[in-house]
Structure 1
Amino acid sequence: MDNPIDKYVATALRSYTVLAIVALLIGATVAAPFAAGVVSSEPDRIAVVSIDETITGATAQDTISRLRQLRTDGSVKAVVLRISSPGGSAAASEKLYLAVNRLADEKPVVTSVGQYAASGAYYTAVPSEEIYVTPASIVGHVGVIGTAPSDGLSAQSTTGADKAHRGMTRDQYFAALESMKRAFVGAVLNERGDRLNVSRATVAEASAYHGGRAIQTGYADEIGGLESAIAGAAEEAGLSNYQVDYYNPAQLASIASLLGAENGSVAGQTAPYTHRGVDSIHFLMIYGTPDGIDANTTAAREVTANA
């Protein structure tokens, strides 16, 4: 005959086991939302990326790499470009424009202009949802400057006709200049759309505008500093609670790195325009006419007229 005490103990143990299992299930149900809340507690972020140097291949690549990282970072909900640059290399400026354009397809991008966002730097800014300027900011200067040897010829013998022209004849040179100008002007018209209050021909004149006038022409949208731009980016992203992170991907670069001198210059020569290592053709999207271009040469006069 079974012992009653043994039966009681066995029943009690089964009851305690059931209660323990139930308690574990309840605890897991309660803890799961809490754990999820802890995991998702990372704040939404707005990234501020500074572009405050002359745009070269090296500085552009550093900035493009950072923009790519921010584009794929799910916690970054919007990006503010903090631009104070005169522009720079045409090729590098075009790459920056394409990188910002791709970023703007996925996240709100807003620009805050400091001293200037001119030429290639304005090219970089135009995909932005909003462009904020101060009254003293300078924006615009949409165009291209080409630098080239005065006649494209050399005293040496060459194996091909174009070798003496550094791979480009005068007709090809001006065709390339015109092609880059049209791409730049077209990007401004496409990105700014109905906000522009000037014609395509006026844009192509390469004028630069100060803050208030830039807004009147449609080159910019609002008067305001960096904080206004950050607030505007938060509004575009629908954020009320967010963290702001600051990045300056590119080191401050000198204009001396623009024309064949990014890794240094020839001893005894001052880069870039007096550099005589290889006197080659360069295309710039930069504010004003850089020192060193011989304004007395026919090529320089024609290039400046197309800028």
Structure 2
Amino acid sequence: MLSAKRVFVAQIKPVAFFQRGKTSPAYDGHIPLNWGENAFMAVGSALAALADPRRGDMVAALGETTAGPALPRLRDQMLASPEGRAILKHRPRVNTDTVDMVALAKMPVGSWGHTYVTWLDRCGVTPDTREPVHYIDDPELAYVMTRYRECHDFYHAVCGLSVSVPSELALKVFELANFGLPSTALSALSGLSAFFPPLPSPTTLAYKLSRPTRFLNPYDKPPAEPKRPLGRLTSHQRDRFVREFAPWAFRCGAAARPLITVYWEKRWDQPLEELKRELGIWVSFPKPTPAPSIRLCHSLFVDMPMDNLLNTAGTIPSTSPPGCHT
């Protein structure tokens, strides 16, 4: 009986939850994870990204560890499209080494290439800041994630959205409807923290405890700290996001062509308006009413899409989505 028990125990395999995954990387920069490590990384990166949305490495890790079946679905969309198949075949990269920014700046005004480089210049960003993919095992799916990540600025530019907090939140809603990646929903939810005052720092808490009559004022801070926390929305911005940005982002993202299948680099000379009609993207925010106060007028315009900034002296954009069916 004792010998039989020993044989039975010897045949029990150790739990694979924390066993090491693949030992050899499948591509440069690949970090293999098993199921337990992937879950731990997903939770940890989500908490870190929620605490500080500026942690691009944690936001990237969250997207990779929570992608699940979304990446195979995006790859299938690419395989079903001639442009998508060409992208998977050539695997282009988007950075200042592969994209001639000087040539794009010389393209005709109104072309897609000129619009993109103008957006980069106005917003002060560069395509060289995207995090590399580490935690996706399949090399082809890893490239799909890389493509999605490196084309993020394309989505900003074609939609006419800046890099402000309301615009970033709107783009995450757009990406959720168009790509279906879980990380876009998690990023949008974490971004909702901008709607609420943050927890007070120890210095601010001590300051408020010494001034009980002002404890209910979330923007009453010590003189050394800003009155309004960075990254938080004003009441006007919250109202605009709820009434205009979020509904537009969800409707337009759901109605537009899957942007993962667009070979953006082959369309530099295409007129922007023609490209938007082809993709089913429209911008239909009403033009703000000019205010007598310069400061108020600036606050109204600061988060408007680029299309509206360029058309403030012209007509109000159409409220009907051209080329889209809702």
Please, what TM-score do these two structures have when normalized by structure 1? 0.30
Which structure's residues are more often helix, by fraction? 2
What's the TM-score, normalizing by structure 2? 0.28
Q: Please identify the structure whose Cα radius of gyration is greater.
A: 1
